[in-house]
Structures are given as C-alpha cells and as structure tokens.
C-alpha cells in the first residue's frame, strides 16, 4: 500500500513509512509499525477512509461536470 493511504488512517504525527535505506533494522521497524496499525483496526479504518474519499471525489467530479455543462449550454 502506498504511504499516503496509511497516513489517512493513522493520524499520529510520529507515524510514517520510512524511506530509510534497505537495512534489516529499517525492515524490522516497518514491520512492527504495520503490525501495530493492523492490530489496532487499521485495515477497517483505511477501507473506510478510502471509501469516504472516493465518495467525496465522485460527488465533486459530478458537481464540476454539471457546472461546466450548464455554463457551456448558456
């Protein structure tokens, strides 16, 4: 999953998916953070936020398209 998707579900300022070089320590820290996120219900939170974002984007697109078509018809 992409970094920003996890960010959408986890609002702690100190949480991020590291871009450190590929080291054993970096992989272990990443795995620990992902396990913590999933055990805390992160998968459900991620899915809910993705759905909300998709619904909002779809509504915004429809509104923009309707406005554009309405302005073009005038």
Q: Provide the pLDDT for residue 21.
A: 66
Q: Provide the pLDDT for residue 16.
A: 52
- CB of 18 closer than 8 Å to CB of 30: yes
- Does pLDDT of 7 surpass 50? yes
Q: Provide the pLDDT for residue 28.
A: 85
pLDDT tens readout for residues 13-60: 444 555 566 788 877 887 887 787 777 777 777 777 778 878 888 888
Q: Is 9 exposed, middle or buried (0-12, 13-18, 19+ CB in 10 A)?
A: buried
- What is the count of structural domains for the chain? 1
Spatial neighbors of 15 by CB under 8 A, at least 6 apart, are 6, 7, 33, 37
Q: Name the DSSP letter for residue 70.
A: H
Whole-model pTM?
Answer: 0.39
> Residue 34: which domain range?
3-73
């Amino acid at each position: 999953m992409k970094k920003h998707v996890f960010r959408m579900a986890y609002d702690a300022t100190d949480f991020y998916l590291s871009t450190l070089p590929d080291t054993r320590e970096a992989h272990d820290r990443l795995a620990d953070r992902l396990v913590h996120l999933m055990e805390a219900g992160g998968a459900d939170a991620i899915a809910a936020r993705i759905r909300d974002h998709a619904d909002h984007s779809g509504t915004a697109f429809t509104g923009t398209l309707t406005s554009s078509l309405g302005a073009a018809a005038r």
